[in-house]
């Protein structure tokens, strides 16, 4: 194998809040194991984000964190948020730190793959015949525009106070996410479904027109459109009809949580946030799960699979990604964390760190 082991890869870890530290610890351990196996150096550095950053510095995204992220080859993130910070004003909430780091690094493309692992078919709430054998849907979520970043505020009209958030996109933002999605579709099943609400929203009509224009450059990809409400329904009616879905920030946020359940648990879904350079941010799509934080029962596999995506998309170490993913598949045959455990399925119920142990051992032992 031709791996450049002269270089030490620099990874900044933002473990964040709730279960964030537990799961990123396991993902970091897996990166250390796979890199040691291949005589490659990975240096880890740590920085604050979200609630832990608010507690330590008074802000959800300290300047030092942005600097450490910019200096890295890649970033691993856990999760942010929790009830402790729920009453803070919008800009001061932990979630604002996450939105701001995505924006500061220009990470406009969020890849959220929903795949079904054979061992987890029975953990999915959908019937086996609906899931099929090779469910593999890639949701491409626009990540730095739309309503999460549009104008918001309050105004008074006729003595009544209104609060508003606005869905805003410019053509350029839609074009670049369209290109990401078309290029991914070309490497996969050559099918792209663009999801919008063009029967109601002006911004969706512009979205659709722009996707249509970009599609001229990708004639080999079969393009379809779907309204978001229909898509939410189709994802549970017949998820196998999808290859790549491209959609706006908010619709992608919602649909990817829905898609994650098809694969058995939201604790399984990884994500990659990418921009114009190879610097990417990798995080599970689940949140900080404060109700189970600190108990060592969270599922670390979404974080571990995010680390695999990092090897694939940022570090150009696809062999590392393949080995991590194979080890996760094998681990699922013998063990399950609480969220994916099924009585009588013959798997061992394990903790977060035990799952990390198993995946690590499988990587070390594999040829
Ligand atoms: C996600 C999360 C975040 C988002 C929150 C925590 C800001 O739900 O990554 O899906 O909405 O992007
Ligand atoms: Mg979300």
Q: Is the pLDDT of residue 6 over 80?
A: no
Going by pLDDT thresholds of 50, 70 and 90, the confidence category of residue 204 is: very high
What's the rounded Cα separation, in Å, for the pair 205 and 112?
A: 24
Q: Is 358 in the pocket of ligand 1 (CB under 6 A)?
A: no
User: Across residues 105-128, what is the average pLDDT?
Assistant: 92
pLDDT at 328: 97
Residues 79 and 204 in one domain: no
Q: Is 17 a catalytic residue?
A: no
* CA–CA separation, 146 and 150 (whole Å): 6
> Helix, strand or coil for residue 360?
helix
45 in catalytic set: no
CATH number at residue 254: 3.40.718.10
Alpha carbon of 227 to ligand 1 centroid (Å): 22
Q: Is residue 318 a contact partner of residue 354, using CB atoms and an 8 Å limit?
A: no
Would you say 207 and 196 are in contact if contact means Cβ atoms under 8 Å apart? Answer: yes
Q: Indicate whether residue 98 lines ligand 1 (CB < 6 A).
A: yes
pLDDT of residue 263: 83
- pLDDT, tens digit, 9 for 90 and up, residues 153-172: 999 999 999 999 999 999 99
Residues 38 and 146 in one domain: no
* Residue-level pLDDT at 118: 86
Q: Are 219 and 273 in a shared domain?
A: no
Separation CA 314–CA 272 (nearest Å): 9
Residues 69-78: what's their mean pLDDT?
98
Kindly state whether residue 65 falls inside one of the protein's structural domains.
yes
- Look at residue 177 and tell me whether its pLDDT is greater than 80: yes
Average pLDDT on 205-212 reads 98
pLDDT of residue 123: 85
Q: Which atom of ligand 1 is nearest to the CA of 79?
A: 6
- Say if residue 39 is in the same domain as residue 148: no
Calpha distance 22→290 (Å, rounded): 12
Q: Is 95 in the pocket of ligand 1 (CB under 6 A)?
A: yes
Give whole-number Cα distances, 75 to 46, 257, 278, 316, 353, in Å: 10, 22, 11, 14, 21
Phi first, then psi, for residue 75 (nearest 5°) are -130, 135
Q: 237: Cβ–Cβ under 8 A, 6 or more apart, which residues? A: 130
pLDDT level of residue 4 (50, 70, 90 thresholds): low
Domain boundary among 263, 284, 319: 263
Does residue 347 sit within a domain? yes
Is there a domain that residue 113 lies in? no
> How much is the pLDDT for 365?
94
Q: Considering the domain boundaries, does residue 112 fall inside one?
A: no
The DSSP symbol for 118 reads G
Q: Which residue, of 241, 263, 285, is where some domain finishes?
A: 263
Q: What is the mean pLDDT of residues 185-192?
A: 98
* Residue 197 falls in the annotated catalytic set: yes
Domain identity same for 212 and 253: yes
Helix (H/G/I), strand (E/B), else coil: 140: strand
* Cβ 140 under 6 angstroms from ligand 1: no
* Helix axes 352-365 and 20-37, enclosed angle (nearest 10): 10
Looking at the structure, tell me whether residues 141 and 75 fall in a common domain: no
Whether residues 76 and 152 share a domain: the answer is no
Task: Give yes or no for residue 33 having a pLDDT over 50.
Answer: yes
In a domain, 118, yes or no: no
Task: Say if 115 falls within a structural domain.
Answer: no
Q: Kindly tell me if the per-residue pLDDT of 215 is higher than 50.
A: yes
Catalytic residue among 9, 108, 148, 169: 148
Confirm whether 117 is domain-assigned.
no
Residue 119 lies in a domain: no
Give 2's pLDDT tier (boundaries 50, 70, 90).
very low
Residue 245's pLDDT is 98
Domain containing 182: what range? 125-263
Question: Which of the 8 DSSP states describes residue 257?
Answer: H
Residues 173 and 236 placed together within one structural domain of the fold: yes
- Give residue 3's pLDDT: 57
Residue 216 and residue 137 share a domain? yes
Q: How confident is the model at residue 90 (pLDDT cuts 50, 70, 90)?
A: confident
Question: CB neighbours of 257 closer than 8 A, spacing ≥ 6?
Answer: 266, 285
Question: How far is the centre of ligand 2, averaged over its atoms, from the C-alpha of 284 (Å)?
Answer: 10
Residue 86 has pLDDT above 90, yes or no: yes
Task: Give the angle 212-218-223 at the CA atoms, nearest 5°.
Answer: 50
Q: Is the dihedral of CA 142, 279, 282, 290 positive or negative?
A: negative
Given a cut of 80, whether residue 92 has pLDDT beyond it is yes
Task: Give residue 32's pLDDT.
Answer: 98
Q: How many domains is the chain partitioned into structurally?
A: 2
Of 43, 45, 55, 229, which is the active-site residue?
229
Of 248, 287, 288, 303, the one to substitute when testing ligand 1's pocket (max ligand atoms within 8 A of C-beta) is 287
Is residue 359 located within the same domain as residue 272? Answer: yes
Residue 313 · residue 272 · CB < 8 Å:
yes
Residue 285 in contact with ligand 1 by CB distance below 6 A: yes
Pick the residue whose CA is nearest to atom 9 on ligand 1. 285
Q: How far apart are CA 9 and CA 41, in angstroms?
A: 6
Can you tell me the distance from the alpha carbon of 345 to that of 307, in angstroms, rounded to the nearest whole number? 28
Span from the CA of 87 to the centroid of ligand 2 (angstroms): 19
Whether the pLDDT of residue 1 is over 60: the answer is no
Which residue's CA is minimally distant from atom 6 of ligand 1? 95
Per-residue CA distances from 33 to 103, 169, 318, 357, 359 (Å): 31, 42, 15, 10, 10
Residue where one domain finishes, among candidates 263, 295, 313:
263
Mean pLDDT of the chain: 96
Q: At what angle do helices 301-313 and 318-334 cross, to 10 degrees?
A: 160
**Same domain, yes or no: 240 and 289:** no
Length of the chain: 367
Q: pLDDT band for 5, please (50, 70, 90 cuts).
A: low
207 and 276 co-located in one domain: no
- Per mean pLDDT, which of 86-95, 148-157, 254-263 is the most reliable? 148-157
List, in sequence order, the alpha helices (H) in the chain: 20-37, 51-57, 63-70, 94-104, 128-131, 171-187, 202-215, 228-237, 249-262, 301-313, 318-334, 352-365
Strands 191-196 and 222-227: parallel
- 163-189 burial string, b = 16+ CB within 10 Å, else e? eeeebebeeebbebbbebbbebbeebe
- Per-residue model confidence (pLDDT) at position 134: 85
321 contacts 306 by C-beta, under 8 angstroms: no
């Amino acid at each position: 194998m031709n791996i450049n082991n002269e270089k030490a890869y620099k990874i900044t870890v933002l473990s964040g809040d709730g279960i964030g530290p537990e799961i990123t610890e396991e993902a970091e351990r897996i990166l250390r194991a796979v890199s040691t196996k291949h005589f490659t150096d990975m240096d880890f550095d740590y920085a604050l984000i979200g609630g832990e950053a608010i507690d330590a510095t008074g802000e959800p995204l300290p300047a030092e964190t942005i600097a450490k992220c910019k200096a890295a080859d890649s970033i691993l993130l856990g999760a942010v948020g929790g009830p402790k910070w729920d009453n803070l004003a919008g800009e001061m909430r932990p979630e604002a730190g996450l939105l701001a780091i995505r924006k500061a690094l220009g990470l406009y493309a969020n890849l959220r793959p929903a795949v079904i692992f054979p061992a987890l078919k029975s953990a999915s709430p959908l019937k086996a015949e609906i899931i099929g054998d090779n469910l593999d849907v890639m949701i491409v979520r626009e990540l730095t525009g739309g309503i999460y970043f549009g104008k918001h505020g309050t105004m008074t009209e006729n003595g009544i106070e209104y609060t508003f958030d606005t869905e805003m996109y410019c053509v350029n933002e839609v074009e670049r996410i369209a290109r990401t999605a078309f290029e991914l579709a070309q490497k996969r099943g050559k099918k792209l479904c663009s999801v919008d609400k063009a029967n109601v929203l002006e911004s969706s009509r512009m979205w659709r027109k722009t996707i249509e224009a970009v599609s001229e450059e990708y004639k080999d990809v079969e393009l379809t459109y779907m309204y978001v409400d229909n898509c939410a329904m189709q994802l549970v009616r017949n998820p196998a009809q999808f290859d790549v879905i491209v959609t706006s920030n908010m619709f992608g946020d919602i649909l990817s949580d829905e898609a994650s359940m098809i694969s058995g648990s939201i604790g399984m879904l990884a994500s990659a946030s990418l921009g114009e350079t190879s610097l990417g941010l990798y995080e599970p799509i689940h949140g900080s799960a404060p109700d189970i934080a600190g108990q060592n029962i969270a599922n670390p596999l979404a974080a571990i699979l995010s680390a695999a995506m990092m090897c694939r998309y940022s570090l150009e170490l696809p062999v590392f990604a393949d080995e991590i993913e194979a080890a996760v598949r094998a681990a699922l045959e013998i063990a399950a964390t609480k969220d994916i455990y099924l009585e009588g399925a013959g798997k061992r119920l394990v903790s977060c760190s035990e799952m990390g142990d198993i995946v690590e051992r499988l990587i070390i032992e594999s040829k």
